[in-house]
């Protein structure tokens, strides 16, 4: 029931969201994009609530930063921002990309899912980013609750050799991650890797490349929920 209601809200918002906020070329378009960012992307909720936390040495996680917050990142010495929301021509990406370019911060764009599992090639791209990234860095999604949790956990496992158990606290109510909702599919992914990969001595990258099936696991998760 909750998923159906949320789905209807998202579809209605999507129709309105795509009507404006897709350009910053003129002063009027820039103004509309700032309005779009605050209202349609819920930026007003993130003015004080940043969901900004350190999860490893020189590694931070957060929700979608505004241009002003990116300026604060620069002052903190942040060298790279990893955006997990892809590159849609919408206000949040346009304003973030511009701010990073102006401040000399490296913006790396990746695509990850929150309510279904991300295809393997996108996860491998993220792991490749971890291999070459300039630190300190911030990784973010929209709310910092779900995709950022998964990326932080993957970073700890892939770069620092953590076990799945040691990354469980990344999927916490502290970050507003709700395991009982559709985003619980991310917890299901970690459970599956812990059982079918880690327990058998299979490293994360190898498991994603050779054993992970995003569609099949998403369907299994949804079937188990029903």
Tell me the per-residue pLDDT of 113-144, one tens digit each, with 9 for 90 and over. Answer: 999 999 999 999 999 999 999 999 999 999 99
Q: Mean pLDDT, 10 residues at a time, over the chain (226 residues)?
A: 67 70 94 95 95 98 98 98 97 98 98 97 98 97 98 98 98 95 97 98 98 97 86
Q: Are 63 and 46 in contact (CB under 8 A)?
A: yes
Q: How far apart are CA 34 and CA 13, in angstroms?
A: 17
pLDDT, position 8: 74
Quote the strand ranges of 44-130, DSSP E: 53-56, 59-62, 80-83, 106-109
pLDDT, position 10: 67
pLDDT, position 12: 65
CATH code linked to domain 47-225: 3.90.190.10
pTM for the full predicted model: 0.91
What element of type H or E holds 211?
none
Taking the domains of the chain in order of start, what are their residue ranges? 47-225
User: What tokens appear for 77 in the block?
Assistant: 């010495």
pLDDT, position 14: 66
In degrees to the nearest 10, what's the CA dihedral of 78, 172, 117, 209?
A: 70
Q: Are 67 and 98 in contact (CB under 8 A)?
A: yes
Please give the radius of gyration of the chain, using alpha carbons only, rounded to the nearest integer. 18
């Amino acid at each position: 029931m909750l998923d159906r209601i949320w789905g209807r809200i998202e579809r209605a918002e999507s129709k309105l969201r795509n009507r404006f906020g897709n350009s910053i070329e003129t002063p009027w378009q820039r103004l509309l994009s700032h309005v779009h960012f605050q209202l349609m992307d819920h930026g007003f909720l993130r003015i004080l609530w940043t969901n900004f936390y350190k999860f490893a040495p020189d590694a931070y996680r957060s929700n979608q930063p505004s241009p002003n917050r990116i300026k604060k990142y620069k002052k903190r010495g942040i060298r790279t921002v990893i955006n997990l929301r892809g590159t849609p021509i919408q206000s949040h990406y346009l304003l973030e990309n511009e701010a990073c370019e102006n401040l000399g911060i490296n913006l790396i764009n990746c695509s990850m899912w929150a309510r279904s599992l991300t295809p393997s090639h996108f996860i491998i791209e993220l792991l490749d980013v971890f291999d070459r990234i300039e630190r300190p860095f911030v990784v973010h999604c929209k709310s910092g609750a779900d995709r950022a949790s998964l990326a932080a956990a993957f970073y700890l496992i892939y770069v620092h050799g953590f076990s799945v158990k040691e990354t469980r606290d990344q999927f916490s109510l502290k970050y507003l991650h709700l395991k009982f909702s559709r985003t619980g599919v991310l917890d299901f992914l970690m459970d599956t890797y812990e059982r079918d990969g880690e327990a058998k001595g299979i490293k994360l990258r190898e498991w994603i490349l050779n054993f992970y099936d995003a569609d099949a696991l998403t369907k299994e998760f949804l079937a188990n929920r029903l």
